[in-house]
Structure 1
């Protein structure tokens, strides 16, 4: 049950909103009728809109306006059933909202008699978009590649040793990640069109100058060691994901965690990323073995599963990793110099065998 003294908060475009009932799940039908039963968020900074990081333009002596891109995937939620949501926002904020018609391109444009009313309408729309976004499966993720030749070679040795020495239930070669795809996951998000991908790329570029380089400047070249194993499940005999741990090499302990948390917070406040299962800290992990990679051959079929099939809602078959943890709990995969952070598309592989990049920022000297 939500603590009414410590309500969940939602950040959108640098502003903070209180979630009145975070345990209430909205169906798509209910979401379109969001305003008929009151918005489930309160703007906790309603009296002060100086924090808004978007522009409102004075058209003439009596009208203000702002325009902004919204993916067509969210337009239905903004309009609502028979236009109910749009009408309610316009009525509550005393604005006029122009939305591109189906098949048309262009921005949403808001007109109002005051800058504050225009900003209020835009914040309402942002809330609806954010609510819709967080119910969709992630399309992209931010990561640090961990695929240096040294680490990949040590991973191959680890894989061969495990398959030879740890014949546990459910373990199969197809469960191991491809060495070229080794990465430290920092966060995931849903980006529905090219405009959103461009904005996410801009946010990552901004984070380089505002967060990443200032945090690492005393430790460059910054190095990360991949050493030790852990798992996602509670029972080592019923594992879905076995992952490698990371630690700083020649830098203060906790720096990687601080970097990851700050980066996720940057995207979270912009309305593009959700906190990792409600945790304050990112769960740092380099996936090594994952039951969702299991091929049809391992299950008695003829072909390997496609990426689409692997990620469909089929029951996952866990594996027994207790022997792996007993023998290789402190396995050292090696050290990599931290050079880049990638914004990558899920389930899409580039020519180098790593995930297809949407944006890459260089973080080395």
Structure 2
């Protein structure tokens, strides 16, 4: 290990606790199960956000992805706190048994990696922390119980479990995403946008169909057009409910701040085209830019979503590595060749890891030349959805919805 890595170790925060990574041992961080997941693959993860450096209140903290490493290089997380939390009232003490007990709400999808083959991971955790860890039986539901004679041992085991879950969550495909639908409203602005989008699609196919890779399958279905705000890995009903409750609480607070009167609305102009890579002849995703109507209105929207994004990061259930959301609406995507619903099953390696879907780029030079400043009109953003990635809503043509929140002033 270099001196720089010692002086600047990787830091990970879970809840309000900080950890650093030191050389030692930790149970193998393999994906949590072998079940084939379905994945929302309309855009790459980096399509959603831009780094603050590049600028393109209710809380918790995001996890960081770390690849599996060889046994001699495996790491153990060491607490950075100055002392044990003696005042931790979440850990119960059983007088009759002279035992400290903590119950963890763990998604069953993580049981496999925590227990390990022949219970090897579980046994190592118990030995390292001098605890007894009890999982629900296969036919039961409930919490994971940690038992020990000392509170410090229970806290240590809890920390190790949290971090293993944290790392493994990052290896899983997205299950939900936070979105703002564009075409689910019956307003005149929404109808006008639909018409403009269909005209754009028709003109591109008529004038650019001879370009490499330009086909009808590239275009997103009009009823699925949206802004993506965040993506999540939610593997249990309790995790879904926690995000729903957090959304309700955060948006209520933020809307009071960013929509203080009945006059405010989130109205944006969708004008112009952009793509993610450097070469317009090899494009995978083409999207409409969200442009200014006036500085105040768009700044309010950006600040509202950035603040919401920050709060959701703190839950530990969100997958995001940048701090500022890039507002955009994906129009064309090479992944849609494989599945016109925009929902593709993840391919996995023999070890269970998700591979990127194979995609064939398209030549967008002429599209950008002819339609680079195409005006799709204004649109009012009036709903925020916690959308389900693998369950389309057949009635609306949009994605399935766990909960929706109206983006309107709270008076």
Structure 2 length-normalised TM: 0.74
1:162 aligns with 2:204: yes
Q: 1:174 and 1:234 mapped to 2: Cα distance? A: 23
Q: Does structure 1 conserve the Cα–Cα contact (< 8 Å) formed by 2:255 and 2:408?
A: no
Task: Answer whether contact 2:20 2:78 (CA < 8 A) is retained.
Answer: yes
Partner of 2:36: none
User: Map of 1:115-126 to 2, 5 A cutoff?
Assistant: 115-126=151-162
* Residue 17 of structure 2, aligned match among 15, 19, 37: 15
Gaps of 5+ in 2: 33-65, 184-189, 348-355
Query: Counterpart of 1:43?
Result: 79
Q: How does 1:46-57 map to 2 (within 5 A)?
A: 47=83, 49=85, 55-57=90-92
Residues 91-149 of structure 1: CA distance to partner in whole angstroms, max 9, x if unpaired? 34343221112332211122234444433322221111111111011111111112222
**Alignment partners' CA distance in 1, 2:71 and 2:304:** 38
CA distance in 2 between counterparts of 1:43 and 1:108 reads: 22
Distance 2:83 2:258 in 1: 34
RCO higher in 1 or 2 (8 Å CA, sep ≥ 6)? 2
1:331 matches 2:374: yes
The Cα RMSD (Å) is: 3.5
Q: After the TM superposition, which residues 13-162 of structure 1 pair with which residues of structure 2 at under 5 Å, given as runs?
A: 13-18=15-20, 26-28=29-31, 39-45=75-81, 47=83, 49=85, 55-60=90-95, 62-147=98-183, 148-162=190-204
Does structure 2 conserve the Cα–Cα contact (< 8 Å) formed by 1:10 and 1:16?
yes
**What is the rounded CA distance, in whole Å, between the counterparts of 2:159 and 2:306 in structure 1?**
25
- Contact (CA 8 Å) 1:93, 1:121: kept in 2 or not? yes
Instruction: Provide structure 1 residue ranges, at least 5 long, that are not aligned to the other structure.
Output: 296-303
Q: Distance in 1 between matches of 2:151 and 2:71?
A: 22
**Within 2, Cα distance between the matches of 1:46 and 1:162?**
62
SS of the residue 2:324 aligns to: coil
Aligned in 2, Cα 1:12/1:162: closer, same or farther, shift over 3 Å? same
TM-score, normalisation: structure 1: 0.82
Pair 1:274 & 2:319 matched: yes
